[in-house]
Amino acid sequence: MLLLALYALSSFAQEPDWQEDMQEWTTPEDMGDNTNMELLEDLSINKINLNQITREQLEQLPFLSAQQVEGIMEYLDRYGPIRSLNELKMIPELDYQTCQQLTHYVMIGKERPARVWPKLSDVAKYGKHTFMATAKIPFYERRGDRNGYMGYRMRHDLRYQFNYNNRIKFGITAAQDAGEPFFANRNTMGYDHYSYYFQLRNIGKLEALNLGLYRVQMGMGLIMNTGFHLGKLATLQSMGRNSKLLTAHTSRSVVGYLQGAAATVSLSKQFKLTAFASYRPVDATLNENGTARTLVNNGYHRTPTEMDKKYNTHETDLGFSLGWRKGMLYINANGIYTHLDRRLSPDKENTLYRRYAIEGSDLSNFSLDYGYNNYRMSFAGETAINRDGAIAAIHSLSYVVSEQIKLTAIHRYFDKSYTALHAYSFCEGGSVQNEHGIYLGINWQPARSWLIQGYADYAHFSWPRYRISAPSDAFDAMVTTKYSQQKWSLEGRYRLHLRQQDNADKDRLINRTDHQVRLNWSYTVAPKLTLRTQANAVSKATEQGNQKGIMLCEEAAWKGRRLQIDANFGWFNTDDYNSRIYYFEKSVLYDHTSTMYYGQGIHYTLMAKAELGKRLTLAAKMMVTNYFDRSFISSGLQQVDRSSMADMLVQLRYAL
């Protein structure tokens, strides 16, 4: 780390940080899925040419509302190519914060070309090859490392990607979790998981083609959404916009993807067809009679028991979406059929909350999604039905009162017997089932330096849920305020989350009330140095009493011409696990996660990234957590028999 720190001393103009801006429209709890972060990371590296952009590419950016997408497309059609990113400020639908966020993901390039095959000479000349190797090295030993895990302690992955102007992209990712066998046991091909993909964009009437591993997002997610999984604050930012996307699965994640082929074809000016076919192995916990009790989504294959579950079931998916759009109005008909070669038979006799869980080997869902957009109002909705006739519906309405005030409302109704294997939509309960709720939100910008956002969400669950043996309710509300100046900004956030659960005797429901407060201050000391101070506090009312927690963090980011250094120090003190605090910190490329802290201790990191020439980049991150209230960390095979943990991430990237 010291050698990296001594590599370069001269400064350069500081680039904006997409991760800092992202934290304005999401929460650390919502960043737990690293796949979301990888999609945004990939877009920040392979920026989209604004003068060749399509509606579908704009819809990949989850912070844009429907009005903002329409505004950008209308501006391009009316005024021709954009010459400077400053020109974004002339689009009425875009506020200052959105313009700032767009700069992380878009660039100014040549004017929009005809939808023809690019010349092979241009592809070879201007295409970018990227090779990357990442390893996470633990400086401690888990119990499973001594006896239990079949592989090495180190986590590592390799990546290769070719990208030509975001029109041709292909690559492969090989990933290995700590403890998984490498070129051993059933991993005879080396790594535990491979993601391979090929993607074409905007070739004649072919708008998109994906081969290999890919993700699909249709409508508002009632029957198919393996794309972005973001929370209520992000929904407020996008004002409830829905989308239909095909994206390559470039992640090391082993869940949430399809495997096969998918394509979107323009049938005419108004009609568009998307179709996909997938066949892939999945993990499952089996019953004694050979049926599948549950599908396993953690992706771990470290022990003989976990390895026995690997790819013991196979899944076939066939789906389509036929869409019509004319001006501001659109409607899409969607369908998906899923076949499992093992019957899915969850334990319904001993668990009441699983009474309406997915069951069977042949599943099907159909839906209509529809909407209307203009410069002030946006309406979107989706209504879905499963094979048993159960209904799920969600509708959003947003209205731009003025340039300063924007309102959003979302209503959803998911029948308790509605099931969809690949569904993920706006909800409180974590699944598109057994929920009826209403969400109201507001974006208010009283002045250029001020931004105030808030939402309130109420949900009712008519059937028992996990740890809840009766119908229950939930309420979630948040308000966040930010004041920004040229060199500094101050943000405050408060969240109230009320949920019901069984008491200790399981004879009545009790209210569990969570209060969360976050204060964040950021200051640019010099063109090279930025400081950030953050304070998080929680208070949770449980049957055992009030549980409280606090975390104080200090971050420093320094950027030179060829060197970047990030340091972070945090102190946390919580009463127990119930008062845990989630915190997001920067990391190496494609390794962003939100970490949970509870108990008493400190956590500190030091990360350096150096450009060793024009094409080679070396990054390293040291992470240390010291606990003051325990002599061992975690439990089971993950238990570490000491009070501290230290890990190092090392990444080498070569681009040409």
- Residue 230: per-residue pLDDT: 67
Look at 80-94, 269-283, 318-332, 461-475 and tell me which has the smallest mean pLDDT. Answer: 80-94
| Residue-level pLDDT at 601 | 97
Residue given tokens 């005879």 in the structure block: 188
Residue type, 605: T
d(CA 249, CA 171): 10
- State the DSSP string of 178-247: TT--SSBTTBTTSSSEEEEEEEEEEETTEEEEEEEEEEEE-TTSSSBB-S----HHHHHHHTT----EEE
The predicted pLDDT at position 237 comes to 75
Rounded CA-CA distance 316/372 in Å is: 34
Rounded CA gap, 36 and 547, in Å?
31
Tens digits of residue pLDDT in 351-364: 888 999 999 999 99
Task: Read off the pLDDT of each residue in 129-135 and give the average, rounded to a whole number.
Answer: 97
| All residues at 6 or more sequence positions from 265 whose CB lies less than 8 Å from its CB, including other chains | 205, 206, 207, 272, 273, 274
Q: Give the C-alpha separation, 193 to 549, whole Å.
A: 38
Torsion-angle region of 121 (φ positive above 0: left; ψ -120 to 50: alpha; else: beta)? alpha
Q: Please check the confidence at residue 612 and state whether its pLDDT lies above 70.
A: yes
pLDDT computed for residue 34 by the predictor: 60
Average of per-residue pLDDT across 290-314: 93
Compute the distance between CA of residue 559 and CA of residue 603 in angstroms, rounded to an integer: 23
pLDDT of 6 above 80: no
Least confidently predicted of 232-236, 292-296, 402-406, 526-530: 232-236
Task: Report residue 379's pLDDT band, with 50, 70 and 90 as the boundaries.
Answer: very high
Contact 316, 278 (CB under 8 A): yes
Quick check: 323 pLDDT over 80?
yes
Residue range 452-475: mean pLDDT, rounded: 94
Q: Which pLDDT value is given to residue 12?
A: 34
Measured CA to CA, the distance from residue 484 to residue 399 in angstroms comes to 25
The confidence score (pLDDT) of residue 66 equals 83
Strand partners, 409: 397, 440
Q: Is residue 219 scored above 60 in pLDDT?
A: yes
Secondary structure of residue 107 in the 3-state scheme: strand
Average pLDDT, the chain: 89
